[in-house]
Structure 1
């Protein structure tokens, strides 16, 4: 695994004794990856900070590559692009696979239905669409709870009872 601090300071490196990497990691690689993480979690800065702590712990040998892999998988759970993107910093033998995180056919179908539903909202009323996405984003980032989401969505869809009924069908349990 690369030495994070060295890669950030001089452009490329590989941690001694960590095994063969597929290629040298550059400072630009590290910067690009960190930028992706920051962008993905702009509303959850703790995720970005957790990654920095993992890398610091590795640099001061408080954890090993296996510990880093486990912590990265946990921090970025559900964000397979970031998990797979982290592989550039790992020796080949520690490559993280996310096959077990592949969505089921049922999840893919539900996702398709949700996209269709959101597009239907957009076609009817762009202001409702924007407000709806804002409500969902606040829920996703932990800034509101499901009761507030349901209340706000019911208000947004008061002129569209069919949309409210479809939305309720997406709610768990």
Structure 2
């Protein structure tokens, strides 16, 4: 989108999104807590945005509505495609 016309999310938007994530994972509190911990680490500059996006891809895998909601807080060039493909490869 040219001209940077994407609306800037508000604190209310952030709270509403976190509530949506919390409601979605009401039966899996660990996943919600891991999601919040990821955001806290980013805010504290302990991880970079690539780590956040990687973590979101893992935690919200299979939840396109939540991924789309998360994209509202990202610059367009960092959007996570929905649906994204995720494979659990390990390099051990």
Q: Which runs of 4+ in 1 moved over 3 A?
A: none
TM normalised by structure 1 equals 0.44
Residue 89 of structure 2: aligned partner: none
Task: Give the corresponding residue for 1:118.
Answer: none
Given the alignment of the two structures, is residue 79 of structure 1 paired with residue 63 of structure 2, yes or no?
yes
Match of 2:73 in 1: 89
Cα RMSD (Å) of the superposition? 1.6
Contact 2:64–2:83 (8 Å) recurs in 1:
no
Shift of 1:63: 1.1
> 5+ unaligned residues in a row in structure 1: which ranges?
1-19, 102-173
Which of 59, 67, 70 aligns to 2:51? It is 67
Q: Which has the higher contact order (CA 8 A, sep 6+)?
A: 2
Unaligned runs of 5+ residues in structure 2 are 86-92
Q: Counterpart in 2 of 1:121?
A: none
TM-score normalized with structure 2 length: 0.80
Q: Is the 8 A contact 1:21 1:92 kept in 2?
A: no
Alignment equivalent of 2:17, drawn from 33, 44, 68: 33
1:84–1:98 CA contact under 8 A, matched in 2: yes
More helix by share: 1
Aligned residues: 82
Shift of 1:21: 8.3
2:40 alignment counterpart: 56
Residue 22 of structure 1 deviates from its aligned partner by: 2.4
